[in-house]
Amino acid sequence: MKVTITLRGTLRKYFGEDKERVYDVPEGCTCDEALKIAGLDYKKIKNFGFVSINNKRVMIYDKLQEGDLLKAFSKVSGG
């Protein structure tokens, strides 16, 4: 199934100039697994914040569905 991934904050650097990328991922693929396919291991990114599917915040191990828009945000905590 196809999902679109887009990155925010300092995570953008992982996609270079691309605003978003479309990936073919297995059925039942989680956000974590999809990000790994896209080259991001959230556990190794110190400023990794949270993920959303279709603009609703979800857990990293939640499953994606065909056509979903997965966004990954970096952590913002300055004042």
Contact positions toward other proteins, by CB under 8 A?
A: 8-10, 46-47, 49-50, 52, 55-57, 71, 73-79
* Minimum gap (Å) between residue 17 Cβ and other proteins: 12
18: Cα within 13 Å, side-chain hemisphere = 12
* Closer of 27 and 78 to other proteins (Cβ): 78
What distances in angstroms separate CA 40 from CA 27, 29, 76, 78, one per listed residue? 19, 15, 18, 24
* Minimum gap (Å) between residue 8 Cβ and other proteins: 7
38 phi and psi, to 5 degrees? -85, 0
* Closer of 26 and 75 to other proteins (Cβ): 75
* Minimum gap (Å) between residue 27 Cβ and other proteins: 25
CB-CB contact of 69 with 6 (8 Å): yes
* Closer of 19 and 27 to other proteins (Cβ): 19
